Amino acid sequence: MDKNNFKMTEVLNNLGVKEVNSGTSTGSQWMDTNSEEIVSYSPVDGALISKVKVTSADEYEQVVLKAQEAFKSWRMVTAPKRGEVVRQIGEELRVHKEDLGKLVSYEMGKSYQEGLGEVQEMIDICDFAVGLSRQLHGLTMHSERPNHRMYEQYHPLGIVGIISAFNFPVAVWAWNTMLAWVSGDVCIWKPSEKTPLCGIACQNIINKVFEANDVPEGVSCIVNGDYKVGELMSNDKRVPLISATGSIRMGKKVGEAVGRRLGKSLLELGGNNAIIITENADLEMTIVGALFGAVGTCGQRCTSTRRLIIHESVYDEVKNKLASAYGQLKIGNPLDESNHVGPLIDKAAVDMYNAALEKVVSEGGNLVVEGGVLEGEGYESGCYVKPAIAEAKNEFEIVQHETFAPILYLLKYNTIDEAIALQNGVVQGLSSAIMTGNLREAELFLSQKGSDCGIANVNIGTSGAEIGGAFGGEKDTGGGRESGSDAWKVYMRRQTNTINYGTELPLAQGIKFDL
């Protein structure tokens, strides 16, 4: 795409985004009583895109009441019919794929191709959910009592609250909503305050489908604001499930609030992902995986590669090849497809990037590829930085933390057991990978003695999860699972049923009452 032909005004109009938008909706109904606003600036060029009204406490209350009302009727719609509505959402997303992809790129800063890829994930999860709508299976089991039948079935929970992060401003919402909707739930979404316009656009897209299918007002709700709006949801007993994506610090607060009221939480938190590069690795393939994992989305993926754990026999070769590859990276406007790396989300992220580089040097690290903030023509937003590489040790405090920026740490190992220990030697447990042509190394990495992450890959990088598999991590990553496999079960409540079709009432465990 020629960036000079890119007209954001046309894109915003196509997606129904106005100069000033209401940030509170129960579907087709938008509320507009609060004067406080979120101002969305693009990290691409620093320009003001649009404004969104913050949801007030009174508006939030109206949203929840409408959602509760909608749940009563939506749960009675058959699952296949709910799936048909989701199928139509997928079709509508196909129509708006380019426009929504451009908005994701412009408001968040990821490349246009990544923006299109994110919308494609939304379409894919719609397809997955349509099939799922006919497969919400329970189990039948034998009873110990004669003439009895036992089985399990699943019922919708009610209201699902979704708190999403800026780095995937639309896909993660779709992972949750499409599964929740076919399960019979209704949803309230709080998009990131850093990417509110993507949320407005999504609500406008699905409203067309919902209106055409007479879906009740309140099945899809949206609220906007900072952590205070998130706190309203997290502390609300009427919201049985909170799905929250973000930092570990944020997730602990959400988990504590939801746990205090004995609610359910699905937490997708930080990652400190590593690739083990063995002496048996295909290094050409390895460099490609490590490069994309480290610099894709400017290092702002929860699955971004933060650490390379490299066997000492190939350490220098990998280091030199990576340094050479970094030297060829093109950094600039992400809507220009010739560029590899776009900006960080905002100047606060730039400050964290600078602080991390200073910290790794102060702890004894060595910069193999120096970073820095880019200035001049094309970099006016102040959010463009150079991807950096540092030799470090796993025990460095900065290496133990997730820095949401393109900084890659190189670590050296001698034995495969040592490599796995380094991989697991952080509090996060999201994604991991090993590059090897050795079957024993691969199997060990995937065994109970291997990676302790929710995702473990062989001969691919840490990024690029598919929607068919459940996505999530362990330890301080939160333990949640979204998207594929049987992740749908978290959006439903399990019920065990027993039917006595006999003429007597035998009691469990052979207990008898002589009456």
Q: Which amino acids are annotated catalytic? A: 268, 302
355 membership: H or E segment, kind and range: helix 347-362
- Pairing type for strands 48-53 and 20-21 reads parallel
- Pairing type for strands 492-500 and 148-156 reads antiparallel
Cβ burial, residue 515 (10 Å; 0-12/13-18/19+)? exposed
Count of alpha carbons within 13 Å of 382, Cβ hemisphere only? 10
Hey, what are 176's tokens? 């949750």
Hey, what are 167's tokens? 């780095």
Closest CA to 34 of 19, 47, 48, 24: 24
**Is the CB of residue 458 less than 8 Å from the CB of residue 446?**
yes
Q: Which backbone phi and psi does 463 adopt, to 5 degrees?
A: -95, 165
The CA R_g of the chain, rounded to the nearest whole Å, is 24
Give exposure, 232-242, as e/b (b: 16+ Cβ within 10 Å): bbbebeebbbb
Cβ burial, residue 185 (10 Å; 0-12/13-18/19+)? buried
**Is the CB of residue 261 less than 8 Å from the CB of residue 233?**
no
